[in-house]
Amino acid sequence: MYLFEIVTAAIVILSVINFVLYGVDKARAVRGEWRISEKTLLLLSLFGGGIGGLFAMILFRHKTKHASFMLVNALGVIWQSALIVFLALKG
């Protein structure tokens, strides 16, 4: 059961980090400052932070017109949720 808890904790932590990064990037965009790279946001969304990225897109209204961001965050949420359910049922 430890694997379930570790994976779930990792996804939660990465989602919080990703949520914060989206918020920081939005604030910097409004102020015309240096931005967080799209590659960083997309990779974090795909590899653990999809839920945080999706919530941040909605809450901050950030990157919502970019199909790639919608797709990557949706894929991240789907596979990360499936992994958590799989591990919960296996354990």
CB neighbourhood size of 72 (10 A) = 22
32, 67 contact by CB (below 8 A): no
Q: What tokens were used for 47?
A: 């590899």
Q: What's the number of domains the chain is made of?
A: 1
pTM over 0.85: yes
- pLDDT category at 62 given cuts 50, 70, 90 is confident
Share the mean pLDDT of the chain: 94
Domain range for 60: 2-90
Query: What's the mean pLDDT in 50-54?
Result: 95
73, 86 contact by CB (below 8 A): no
- In this predicted structure, what is the pLDDT of residue 1? 64
What is d(CA 44, CA 73) in angstroms, rounded to the nearest whole number? 9
- pLDDT category at 70 given cuts 50, 70, 90 is very high
